[in-house]
Amino acid sequence: MTMREFVITTDSNSDLALEYIEENHIGIIPHYYMVEEEVYGGGRELTIKEFYDAMRQQKKVGTMASNPAVIEETFLAYEKEGKDVLHISFSSALSGGCSNVQVVASQVMEEHPQMKIVVIDTLSVSLGEALMIMKAVALKKEGKSLEETVESLEQMIPHLCVQFTVDDLNHLYRGGRLSKTSAILGTVVNIKPILYVDEAGKLVALSKVRGRKKALNTLADNLEDRLGSFRDQQIAIGIVHGDCEEDALYLKQMLKERFGFQDFLIGPVGPSIGAHSGPGALGLIFLGQHR
């Protein structure tokens, strides 16, 4: 029996560069976002600058998870091509998107028993998902089967470290991504919180420091604490930013000097996460001993 080809799909929250997506034929399930009453996503987009400027102008923003009809359409198109699907999903603890995909996947497989769809809940966000996608792409190119690829990816999940600092915690609180208590921690003048995505895929406050530069240094210190045996096993070091590229480049330079890293993925936080983290958010993503 010949092995069926599989495709890799993910959601728009993985913050992967468009060139990479196109080059590696990654299927994207959109998550949606709103500015005032206008809905965007799935082809109708604002530029990163337009989106964060809207937030700076205090315009009302919101987000919506993926649309089951779009998910079904995507999976059925692959079924017609005789392909299986490996879907790498945004954390189920932060969005209904993962369970939407799981529900549709089981319906499609029930109707098309020859098709296999595996949904991996990364319990991670943004470039945490992207690192898993890059790993999956590499394994697929090596000729690994869907099952072998899934096994490798599942072992990665506990080692996906996502830490970030934000300029204003109220965005996270308003979007229901952070508790009131955690948000209050950050409202004191110039206190910058360090947050991370924990083992359950939830967003939690790790510590708080005074001032932006100290926050960026703390991200680098935390990376050092977690690296352990993963020091030479990085796929790439991810740095995402809420329209504050200068700070992202400052952090990159610091990490190059301190640790000698050469491979970086740097890019903006897309709107459906950015609606919660706000302008000025800066995240660091890498593989470590523990989250």
Query: Chain centroid to CA 249: how far?
Result: 19
What confidence score (pLDDT) does residue 190 get?
Answer: 74
pLDDT average, residue stretch 262-280: 95
Query: Chain centroid to CA 226: how far?
Result: 19
pLDDT of residue 175 exceeding 80: no
Instruction: Say which residues have a Cβ less than 8 Å from residue 106's Cβ, sequence separation at least 6.
Output: none
Percent of the chain clearing pLDDT 70 (strictly above)? 95
CA angle, residues 73, 65, 270, in degrees to nearest 5: 105
Query: Across the chain, how many H-helices and E-strands are there?
Result: 11, 13
What confidence score (pLDDT) does residue 187 get?
Answer: 60
With CA atoms as reference, report the closest residue to 163 among 236, 229, 220, 210: 220
State the architecture of 158-287 in CATH terms: 2-Layer Sandwich (3.30)
The domains spanning 6-156 and 158-287 adopt the same CATH topology? no
What confidence score (pLDDT) does residue 289 get?
Answer: 97
Percent of the chain clearing pLDDT 90 (strictly above)? 85
pLDDT of residue 106 exceeding 60: yes
State the architecture of 6-156 in CATH terms: 3-Layer(aba) Sandwich (3.40)
Per-residue pLDDT tens for 9-52? Answer: 999 999 999 999 999 999 999 999 999 999 999 989 999 999 99
Gyration radius (Cα) of the chain, Å: 19
| Contact between residue 7 and residue 25 where contact means Cβ atoms under 8 Å apart | yes
Per-residue pLDDT tens for 124-172? Answer: 999 999 999 999 999 999 999 999 999 999 999 999 999 999 987 777 7
Instruction: Say which residues have a Cβ less than 8 Å from residue 268's Cβ, sequence separation at least 6.
Output: 15, 48, 240, 241, 242, 243, 245, 274
Q: Output the CA torsion 215→221→224→227 (10° steps).
A: -40
Confidence of residue 182 (pLDDT cuts 50, 70, 90): low
What confidence score (pLDDT) does residue 168 get?
Answer: 77
| Contact between residue 265 and residue 236 where contact means Cβ atoms under 8 Å apart | yes
Q: What is the end-to-end Cα distance of the chain in Å, rounded?
A: 40
pLDDT of residue 188 exceeding 80: no
What are the sequence ranges of the domains in the chain?
6-156, 158-287
Confidence of residue 215 (pLDDT cuts 50, 70, 90): very high
User: How far is the C-alpha of 245 from the C-alpha of 251, rounded, in Å?
Assistant: 10
With CA atoms as reference, report the closest residue to 94 among 240, 206, 201, 205: 201
pLDDT average, residue stretch 56-60: 94
User: How far is the C-alpha of 109 from the C-alpha of 271, rounded, in Å?
Assistant: 31
Query: Higher pLDDT residue, 259 or 167?
Result: 259
Q: What is the mean pLDDT of the chain?
A: 93
What confidence score (pLDDT) does residue 167 get?
Answer: 84
Confidence of residue 53 (pLDDT cuts 50, 70, 90): very high
pLDDT average, residue stretch 221-231: 97
pLDDT average, residue stretch 259-271: 96
Confidence of residue 191 (pLDDT cuts 50, 70, 90): confident
